[in-house]
Structure 1
Amino acid sequence: MDDENDKLEEDFYQFLNLPRDAPQEEITNAYRRLSRIYHPDKHTDPLRKKEAEVLFNKTKKAYEVLSDPHKRAIYDSLGTKGLETEGWEVVQRTKTPQEIREEYELLAQQKEERRLLQRTNPQSSITVNIDATELFSPYEDAYDDEFGPPGNFFPSIVVKGMNFSQSIQAPLTLNDTAYLSGELSTHKGSGSGSVNVSLRRITSPDGWAELELGFGNGLSFSAKGFRNLTKRMFTNISGILTSTDEGLSFGFVSTLAHQLDKNTVGYLTYKNSQSSSMSTSIVKDTATYRTQANFVLGIPHSFISMSYCHKLEKHDGRLRGTVKAGTFGAMVEYGLERKVSQHSSLAVSMTVGVPTGVRLKIKLLRGNQIYCFPIHLCHEVLPSPIFYGTVTPMVAWIIIRRLVVEPYLQQQKIKDIERHRAMHHSQMLARRREAEISIDLMKETYRRNVEDEENRKGLIITKSIYGRWLDLSHRDLGDAITDVTIPLQCLVRDSKLILQEASKCQLPGFYDPCMGEDKSLYVQYSFHGVPHEVTIQDTDSLRIPKQCNLSQSRFFTNLHKLISTSYAAHRKQL
C-alpha cells in the first residue's frame, strides 16, 4: 500500500476546535488564539522556536484551507485528498465552489473508471437442492419386520439437484462492457449447461443497450434496452429468440415504471414466452421498511401477493414476510437476514404452502458469492416440520454465533487494530511527539488562563484524562490514556469550554493513545469554587459548565451573600 493511502486524515475543524459550519470570524479567532501559542517569535529558546514553527505551519495550513471558500468547499466534501488530487492544479481559481467540486468529482470519476478497466468483477452462485421429506414423513414404514432392509434405520436426505453459475465482466471502454457467464445444472441424474456472451453499451446518460448470444440447449440471441423517458418514468425491454430441436421460439418482456413519490415506484410488466402474463407492482422503499404488492394475470396461473421487509439498522438485519395466493394455491413465507461480518450475510426463510408443502431455504452471501440451500421438508403442511424448520436454524445460529462467529469477529477486530497500528506506527509516534511539544508550548498560556479564571472564580480544569473507554477517574490504564489537563484548560474562553461533536484526538495537545478502540474524555473541573466531573464518549460534544452547574453556583453565591448580610447585621446590632 502506498504512502498516500497510509496517511492519516487530518481534521482541520477539530484542530481549530470549530464546528463545520463555522463563519469566517470564528475561523480567524481560532487561528489567532493558536498563533499566540505556536508563533516562533513568541519563543526565545532555539529548540522551542523550531518546534513551534512546525505547529505554527500546521495551524497556518488549516487556516488557509478553511478561510478560502474554494479550498473549503472541496475539503468539506472530499477531505485533504481532494486538495492533493492529480490534475487539481489545472482548476481555475475564478470558479465557484460548486464548479470546483464538480471538477474534482469528474477527475475522481475518471480515475475510478480507469481502475475499473483493470477489474473483472467475478460473481458466482451455487445452489444445492435437498430433499429431506423423510424426516417428517407421515406414512408408516412399509416393513413391519424388526430386521427390515438395511439402511432404513435413519431417514435419508437426498441431494436432488445442483446449479453452478459464474460470470465476469470486462470493461472495454468507458461506455462498453463485455460479460461472459456460464451455468451448469443437474437434476435427478440429468444435466444441462449454457454459456452466454453479451456486450452492453451506454448509449446516452439516459439509457443503455445490450446484445447477448447464448449456447447450451440450442442457440439463443437476445436484445435488451433501458431508457429514462422522463425524470420519473423509465422503461426496460428485452426480447429473446431461441433455436431448439422443436424449432424457433420467441420471448418478450417489457416493463414500464413510474415513480409515484419519493419512496414509491409503480411497475407495469408484460411477459410473452412459454407462459404469458400481465403484472402490476407497487414498491415502497424507505429507510426503515420495504413493502411490495403484486397482481399477476396470466396463463396458466394468476395470483396476488403482498410482501413486507423491516430493516433492523441496530442489528444489521432484515425481517421478511410474504403472502401469496392464486390459481396455483397459496403460500406464506417468513424469514430473517442478518449481517455476519462486513462482507457476509446469512438469510434463512420458511415457506409454507399448498401444494408445495414446507420448505426451508438457507442462503449465505459472501462478497460476490452466493451459496443457496433450498431444503424440502415435507409435502404436506404439518406442525412438526414448521416448528423444527423455524426453531432449529435459530438455535443453530445462536450456538454458532456464540462459539464461532463472535470469537472470530473479535479476533479479526484485534488483528485489524494491530495491523492498523503497525501501518501507522510512525505517524502515531509523530503525533504523540507533536502533542507533547504542543503541551510544553502551552504551559505559559495555561498559567495565565488559570490565573484569569481564579480571579473571576470561573472555570478551572483540575484534571482531564483522554483514552480507552473505561471509568477513567478510577483506573490506571498506562499507555492507553493521556493527561490533557493543560490543552483543555487552554481551550477555556470566558469561563466556558465547548468541544465539537467529533473525535478529540486531533485537538491541539491531544493524540490517539489507543487507535482503533473506543475512547472517552474524563474531566474534573471547578466552577465558582464548586467541584464537578463529567465523562463523555470520544465523538460526543461537551459544553461546561452545564446549566445545573450555573444554578448550583447561583445557589451557593446567594447563600454566601445571605450569610454575609446576616453576619454583618448581627455585628451591627452588637
Structure 2
Amino acid sequence: MPSDNESDGELEENYYTFLNLPRDATADQINTSYRKQSRIYHPDKHLDAESKKKAEIMFNRTKRAYEVLSDPHQRAIYDSVGVKGLKTEGWEIVHRTRTPAEIREEYERLAQAAAERRLQQRTNPRGNITINVNATEIFAPYDDTEMPRVEIGSMSIAQSIEAPITRKDMIVMSGNLYSSNGTGSGGFVVAGRRLLNKGWLELCAGAGNGFLLGLKGGRTLTSKLTVNGGTNLNFREHAVIPALFSTLAVQLDKHTMGSLTLNAGPQSSMTTQIDHSNDQYSLSSSFVIGTPHIYFSLAYTRKMMENELKLKLAAKVGTFGFMGEYGVEKKVSKYSSVVATVSVGVPSGVILKFKIVRSNQSYVFPIHLSEEIVPAAVFYASITPVIAWFFIKKSIMEPMEAERKSIEVERTKKQNEQRLAAKKLEASAATHLMQRTFNRILNEEMLKHGLIITRATYGCLSESGNNFQAGLSYDVTIPIQCLVKDGTLQLYESSKCDLPGFYDPSIGDDKILRIEYTFNDQFKIVNLKDNEALRLPPAGNSGGSSPNN
C-alpha cells in the first residue's frame, strides 16, 4: 500500500486522497468522485486561457487517478507497491523525469549500493567474536576488604571470506584466534570449492596445531535426500590424526528436516536431529552419543513477527549434568538483532549471554555469574537484559533513530524541492478553479443553515500548540468547503496534503487541519491530525459538539 512519504525519499501521489476516497472504495464511489471533480476541473468548464491551462493539469491528475483506481489490475499493483509499480516494465522501473542534478544524485546512490552488493557477494564475509567474562566472585563469598573481580576468561575470533574465481569455483579463506589465561592458539585454512552437478567438492589445507589436509563433498541424491561427508588429516609432531565425518539429511515434510551425523576421530559421536519450523514457531531436538558425553537436547523458539521478537527455551540433559536456557531475540534494524539468554545448569552454574548480530557478523559475550545455581544470580541475570535494553533504547537507539529520521527528512526535502514547489503552484491553481463550485456549495448550505466552513487552516502548530507557524501553514477554506456534500464533510485516514488545493508545507513535521464551521447556526472548531479521519457533523449529531472540539 503506498504511503504518503515513501522511504526512498521520493514523494508519491496518493490517488485515494486526491479523490477523497477510502482505501476500500467501491466502483460506485470512485465513479461518483471522478464525476464530481471532473465538473470542477474539465477544461471546457473554463473560458479564459490561463484557467484552461490550470484545468488541464488538474483534470489530467483526476483522470489518471480514476484510470488506476477503476482498473482492478492497476489498483492491485498500486495498493501493493505504489506509483512506481505502475511504471514497471518487466523487472525494471521507469522513473519520473528528473533534473540533471537529481539524475546524478540517483546514479551515485545506485552505483554505491551496487558496489557494496558486489563486494558483499564476492567475499561473503562471516565472522564471530566471543569474549567470555568471569564474574563468579560477585555471587560467591569473598573477603570484605576486597572488591569482587571481573575478568576476561577467554576470547576467540573467527573470520572467513569467499572469493569466487569462476561461476563454479571459489576459494574460501578462514582463520581463528583463541586466547585463555595468557596462552593462545590459532589456525588458518584455505579451501578450494567446486560446484558439481547436484553437488560440490572441496579440498582444504591449513596450519595451526600442525598441518591440516582435508577433503569434503556433498551431493543431492533425491529431492528430499542429501548427503555430505569428508575426511581430515592432522599432521602433528609425533603422529598423524585422522578424522571422518558424514551427514545424511532427509526432508520429512514441508516444515520438518531430519539428519544423522557421524564423526570418527579424537572425539567420536553420532547425532540424530529433527528440526521443525513454520511461521509461528520452530522446534529442534537432538540425541548425541559420543565421547566424552551422551545427552539429549530440545529447543523451542516462538516467533512473534509483528513485534520482530523471538522467545527461546532450551534444555539439555545427559551424562555431563543438565542445563536449561531461556532468552529473547529482538530485531533492531533490517540487518541487526540482539539476543539475551540465561543459562542455568549443573555443573555450569548461571551464565548470562549477550549476542549482537550484524549481517553475517556476530559478537558474543557470555558472562559466567556463578559456578552454582544461586537464586540471586538467576534473578539478576533475568532482569539485567531488560534494564540494559531499556537504557540502550532510551539513551542510544531512540536518539539515533530520531537523528536518522531527521537526516532522511532533510534529504527528502532536498530531493523533492522542485516537486514541492510545483505542488504549491498546483494547489493554488486548484483553489482558483474551485471558486465557482465554492460559491455554489456555500450558497446552498447558507440557505438551509447547513455546514458552512468559516475558516480552515492546514499546517504546523507553534510550540505552544495554539497558533500556526508563519510560513508553515496556509488557508484551505475553499478546498474544504468544496468537499461538503449535502451538509456533510467526510475525510479519510490519510495525509491531507494530497487533497486538491493542498500541499505539504513541511515534510516530516506533524501537521494539523483546523476547521472553524457553523452547523444549524452553531459555531464549532475542530483540530484534526494529519492522518485522522473526520465526519462533520458527527454521525448521529445534528449540531452537538464534536469529540475533537
TM-score (norm: length of structure 2): 0.77
What secondary structure, in the 3-state scheme, does the structure 2 residue paired with 1:166 have?
strand
Q: CA deviation at 1:420?
A: 1.9
Contact 1:446 1:489 in 2 (8 A): yes
Tell me the residue number matched to 2:20. Answer: 17
Q: Which of 82, 85, 90 lines up with 1:82 in the alignment?
A: 85
For residues 419 and 297 of structure 2, the distance between their equivalents in structure 1, rounded to whole angstroms, comes to: 61
Q: Which residue of 2 aligns with 1:127?
A: 129
User: Match for 1:214 among 180, 187, 204?
Assistant: 204
C-alpha distance in structure 1 between counterparts of 2:196 and 2:85, whole Å? 28
Q: Paired residue for 1:193, among 171, 177, 187?
A: 187
Aligned residue for 2:154?
A: 160
Contact 2:229 2:245 in 1 (8 A): yes
1:474–1:177 CA distance, 2 compared to 1 (3 A): farther
Asked if the contact 1:303–1:327 (Cα under 8 Å) also holds between the matched residues in 2, the reply is: no
SS at match of 1:409: helix
Q: Which residue of structure 1 aligns with residue 377 of structure 2?
A: 385
Q: Does 1:275 align with 2:269?
A: yes
- Structure 1 residues 363 and 477: CA distance shift in structure 2, 3 A: same
Q: How much has 1:353 moved relative to structure 2? A: 1.0
How far the C-alpha of 1:448 sits from its partner, in A, is: 0.9
Partner residue in 2 for 1:570: none
Q: Deviations over 1:189-214 (max 9, x none)?
A: 332334455768698xxxx7444443
Deviation of 1:298 after TM superposition, in Å, equals 3.1
- Secondary structure at the residue paired with 1:62? helix
Tell me the residue number matched to 2:102: none
Which residue of 2 is the match for residue 546 of structure 1? 538
1:56 aligns with 2:59: yes
CA offset at residue 375 of structure 1? 2.5
**1:431, CA displacement in angstroms?**
1.3
Tell me the residue number matched to 2:289: 298
- Equivalent residue in structure 1 for 2:356, among 364, 368, 386: 364
Worse-superposed segment, 45-54 or 536-545: 536-545
Alignment equivalent of 1:332, drawn from 324, 328, 340? 324
Code of the aligned partner of 2:302: C
Change (3 A) 1:153 1:487: closer
CA deviation profile, 1:150-187 (whole Å, cap 9, x unmatched): xx8762513413122133475966xx695735231314
Return 5+ residue gaps in structure 1 as ranges. Answer: 90-111, 147-151, 554-574
Residue identity matched to 2:256: G
CA distance, structure 2, for counterparts of residue 429 and residue 386 of structure 1? 61
Q: Which letter does structure 1 place at the counterpart of 2:287?
A: V
Q: Name the structure 2 match of 1:435.
A: 427
The alpha-carbon distance between structure 1 residues 483 and 335, as it changes in their structure 2 partners (threshold 3 A), is: farther
- Structure 2: which amino acid aligns with 1:126? N
Encode CA deviations 1:382-436: one digit per residue, 9 max, x unaligned: 2343344344444444444444333333233222222221222222222122112
**Equivalence for 2:96:** none
Distance 1:74 1:398 in 2: 40
Structure 1 contact 117–172 (Cα < 8 Å) conserved: no
CA contact (8 A) 2:354 2:364 kept: yes
| Alignment partner, residue 414 of structure 1 | 406
Distance 1:182 1:533, change over 3 A: farther
* Equivalence for 2:101: none
Q: 1:310 to 1:278 in 2, by over 3 A?
A: closer
Secondary structure in structure 2 of the residue aligned to 1:513: coil
Pick one of 228, 240, 243 that aligns with 2:230: 240
Identity %: 34
Change (3 A) 1:113 1:418: closer
* Partner Cα distance (1:219, 1:113) in 2: 37
Structure 1 residues 439, 181: closer, same or farther in 2, change over 3 A?
farther
How far residue 301 of structure 1 moved from its aligned partner, in angstroms, is: 1.7
Aligned-pair distance for 1:445?
A: 1.0
Q: Structure 1 residue 423 and structure 2 residue 411: aligned?
A: no
Note the alpha carbon deviations across 1:68-99, whole angstroms, 9 max, x for none. 5554454344432233335689xxxxxxxxxx
Contact 1:473 1:522 in 2 (8 A): no
Structure (1 or 2) with the greater helix fraction: 1
Verify: 1:346 aligned to 2:338, yes or no.
Answer: yes
Deviation at 1:355, TM superposition (A): 1.4
Name which of structure 1's ranges 69-78 and 267-276 shifts more when overlaid on structure 2: 69-78
Quick one: structure 1 residues 547 and 426, their matched pair in 2 at CA, closer, same or farther if it must change by over 3 Å? same
Return the alpha-carbon distance in structure 2 between the equivalents of residues 183 and 63 of structure 1.
Answer: 61
Q: What TM-score comes out, normalization by structure 1 length?
A: 0.74
